[in-house]
């Protein structure tokens, strides 16, 4: 039985029931008594701490604090955390963020495991050959990987179809007639970034369109790098008539660069951006509205928390692999190439 | 297992093992790796934990997971966390994020205290009369408030001069000749938002400029609300010739609204935004570059972590009050009002 159901049975608010069960003086003793008898009768175990003790759980999930070497905290991090929180709060589980000393993530994970402060771990930002995944599998500590790695070790993971996203976006631009397409994505080595480049290359190869290595850019995600790199790309002759941007922040900079060169967005130069779906920056509201490959990183966080709970409940990690398809949402920022008259 | 035994197992000196476990660069990486694997294998828990036990510390700071009622995770949250992490990592301290159930923050703080998982707490997003501050002071649990409240209870806090920021920005616009100035800031009730409105009102009152209540807007921070509210403001006659925006995301929406009405930014309509300083969205790079009131929320995070460490080291909370001044950085988005010809 859940708190909500117990509250309904009693005709009380969830807050009152929760406070009664936790013995707060704000709730009078008659109500406290009534609530605890009902809890007993319906088998509701009030105290999350008590439940955890009974099943040998700590009630916390561990994650490393992003540091400067890896992807820093950014808009995607906070949306991901927000998604995690949504699921963890259902079970009153905490999220423990542990620091990385001297950029040594392996040691940080070891400390986290030996501290006995967490039941399981979330690993983010994997590389193609991710030694952290090898170590955690070896240590037999429960974890879920956000993203994918080529390391052969049985483990749970959730990823979006990054190759598919960029393949679909590039194919669409090729269909429209573009032949000079650039991409500005995240740092090399990260799986998501390698996969996106792969998808981009596949689309071009399939049409026999030659790949210009100057048109493939890997950089940190920011408005500033988007602006700088797009300015550089647009200074070439011929310049790209379309740019794939790996993040919304990058895209803001690319927008500016296209405008500052005097090109019409979505006409002379098209742009398609990857959108993690931020509540405070909406692609459909931009001017022109932005064509995106879209996948909610918040939903990914919620799902990963769910997978962690399932691992702790005994589900084999071999069952816990998910690749989420990415939608291509067509809006005004992409169109057929137009040669300026 | 004790350090001595671990050192014997490895055939290394205790000093070397200790340094290896603390990640000192004097010990080469192969030895560090060997030592940490042995520590893991023999269940030796590294030094930070031992040190903490010796001084009676848990080694973790608590904070509530933002939920939907309060400010959600957003760009400012992740920068703040990033700043906290910078200081906490120096002492190998963890950050424990605890969920809020049924929007009941008081209960969430009580759980956090009774769980004995944290040494101290960070309280964010205060209101003018913040019951959480009263409760935590009463409970005698160490905490630092990010922001200010009028609750009379001795506690440590750090805030920026929000009233001063908006007073300075509005005064500057009045100096330039603006007489119709609007503000779009965060939700009512939050101290920062109330203080900013106060500063705005003071500046107008000082010049005898009447205050139009339709020109004072309190909303969630997002590109979308910035756009919608600025569109509404610009539909009035006379419309504001200048808008103060409470966040960079709001400002992006205001930019769009001004453009979509066909007004020239920084000429027909000026804008000054508050900038928490995001690494991925630079006010000086916008077109036109954005005039801002600026204060790094990342630095505030680092400083608050420092204050927490000082409280745990015995510093009286009465010594730990800081108000940071806010800079007004003039750029192209603000100028004298121009009547369209």
pLDDT computed for residue A90 by the predictor: 87
pLDDT computed for residue B283 by the predictor: 87
Domains of chain B: 3-46 (1.10.260), 60-160+298-324 (3.40.50.2300), 162-295 (3.40.50.2300)
Note the helical H segments in chain B. 3-10, 14-21, 29-41, 47-55, 75-88, 105-114, 131-138, 162-175, 191-206, 223-235, 248-260, 297-312
Put simply, the answer to whether A88 touches B78 (Cβ < 8 Å) is no
Tell me which chain B residue has its CA closest to the CA of residue A252: B281
Q: Name the residue among B243, B225, B332 with its Cα closest to residue B283.
A: B332
Q: How many residues does chain B have?
A: 341
pLDDT computed for residue B236 by the predictor: 97
Mean pLDDT score, B333-340 = 86
pLDDT computed for residue A70 by the predictor: 46
Evaluate the omega torsion of the peptide bond into residue A258 and state whether it is cis, within 30 degrees of 0: no
From B15's Cα to the closest Cα of chain A, the distance in A is 18
CA distance B217 to A48: 41
| Nearest-CB residue to A280 (from B100, B222, B282) | B222
**Low pLDDT (below 50) residues in chain A:** 69-70
Put simply, the answer to whether B253 touches A285 (Cβ < 8 Å) is yes
A325 burial level (CB within 10 Å; 0-12, 13-18, 19+) = exposed
For the stretch B47-60, pLDDT in tens is: 555 556 566 788 99
Chain A residues lying within 8 Å of B46, measured CB to CB: 110-111, 114
Put simply, the answer to whether A97 touches B95 (Cβ < 8 Å) is yes
pLDDT computed for residue B90 by the predictor: 86
Scan for tokens 């030796």, then name that residue.
B44
Residue pair B160/B300 in contact (Cβ under 8 Å)? The answer is yes
Put simply, the answer to whether B85 touches A72 (Cβ < 8 Å) is no
Residue pair B14/B4 in contact (Cβ under 8 Å)? The answer is yes
pLDDT computed for residue A109 by the predictor: 94
- Count of other CB atoms within 10 angstroms of residue A91: 17
Chain A residues lying within 8 Å of B22, measured CB to CB: 101
CA distance B80 to B50: 29
CA distance B37 to B336: 66
Chain A residues lying within 8 Å of B285, measured CB to CB: 223-224, 227, 253, 256
Chain B residues lying within 8 Å of A113, measured CB to CB: 40
Put simply, the answer to whether A49 touches B115 (Cβ < 8 Å) is yes
For the stretch B166-221, pLDDT in tens is: 999 999 999 999 999 999 999 999 999 999 999 999 999 999 999 999 999 999 89
Put simply, the answer to whether A115 touches B49 (Cβ < 8 Å) is yes
pLDDT computed for residue B263 by the predictor: 95
For the stretch B126-164, pLDDT in tens is: 999 999 999 999 999 999 999 999 999 999 999 999 999
pLDDT computed for residue A3 by the predictor: 78
Average pLDDT taken over every residue of chain B: 90
Chain A residues lying within 8 Å of B65, measured CB to CB: 81, 85, 88-89, 95
For the stretch A116-142, pLDDT in tens is: 899 999 999 999 999 999 999 999 999
pLDDT computed for residue B295 by the predictor: 95
Q: Evaluate if residue B43 carries a pLDDT over 80.
A: no
Which helix H or strand E contains A306, and what residues bound it?
helix A297-312
Q: What is the pTM of this model?
A: 0.81
Bridge partners, B183 (sequence order): B216, B244
Q: Determine the residue among A273, A280, A309, A333 to mutate to test chain B binding: the one whose Cβ has the most chain B Cβ atoms within 10 Å.
A: A280
Tell me which chain B residue has its CA closest to the CA of residue A286: B256
CA distance B328 to A335: 41
For the stretch B68-111, pLDDT in tens is: 544 566 778 888 988 998 899 888 899 999 988 888 899 999 99
Chain B residues lying within 8 Å of A114, measured CB to CB: 39-40, 43-46, 49
DSSP secondary structure of A238-250? SPPSEEEESSHHH
Task: Assess: ipTM above 0.85.
Answer: no
Evaluate the omega torsion of the peptide bond into residue B238 and state whether it is cis, within 30 degrees of 0: yes
For the stretch A232-276, pLDDT in tens is: 999 999 999 999 999 999 999 999 999 999 999 999 999 999 999
């Amino acid at each position: 039985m859940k708190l909500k159901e117990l509250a309904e049975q009693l005709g009380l608010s969830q807050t009152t029931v929760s406070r009664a069960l936790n013995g707060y003086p704000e709730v009078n003793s008659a109500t406290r008594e009534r609530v605890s008898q009902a809890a007993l009768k319906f088998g509701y175990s009030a105290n999350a701490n008590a439940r955890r003790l009974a099943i040998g759980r700590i009630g916390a999930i561990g994650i490393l604090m992003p540091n400067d070497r890896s992807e820093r905290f950014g808009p995607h991090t906070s949306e991901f955390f927000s998604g995690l929180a949504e699921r963890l709060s259902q079970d009153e589980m905490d999220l423990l963020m542990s620091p990385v000393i001297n950029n040594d993530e392996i040691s940080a994970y070891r400390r986290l495991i030996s501290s006995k402060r967490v039941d399981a771990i979330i690993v983010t930002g994997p590389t193609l050959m991710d030694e952290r995944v090898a170590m955690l599998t070896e240590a037999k500590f429960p974890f879920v990987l956000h993203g994918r790695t080529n390391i052969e070790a049985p483990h749970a993971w959730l990823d979006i179809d990054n190759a598919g996203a960029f393949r679909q976006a590039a194919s669409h631009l090729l269909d429209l007639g573009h032949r000079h397409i650039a991409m500005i994505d995240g740092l090399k080595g990260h799986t998501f970034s390698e996969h996106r480049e792969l998808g981009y290359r596949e689309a071009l190869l399939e049409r026999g369109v030659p790949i210009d290595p100057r048109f493939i850019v890997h950089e940190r995600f920011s408005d500033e790098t988007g602006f700088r790199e797009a300015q550089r790309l647009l200074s070439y002759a011929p310049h790209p008539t379309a740019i794939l941007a790996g993040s919304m922040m990058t895209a803001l900079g690319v927008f500016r660069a296209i405008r500052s060169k005097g090109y019409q967005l979505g006409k002379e130069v098209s742009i398609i951006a990857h959108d993690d779906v931020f509540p405070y920056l909406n692609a459909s509201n931009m001017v022109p509205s932005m064509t995106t490959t879209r996948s909610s990183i918040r939903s990914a966080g919620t799902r990963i928390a769910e997978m962690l709970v399932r691992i702790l409940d005994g589900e084999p990690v071999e069952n816990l692999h998910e690749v989420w398809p990415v939608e291509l949402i067509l809006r005004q920022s992409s169109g057929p190439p137009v040669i300026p008259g």
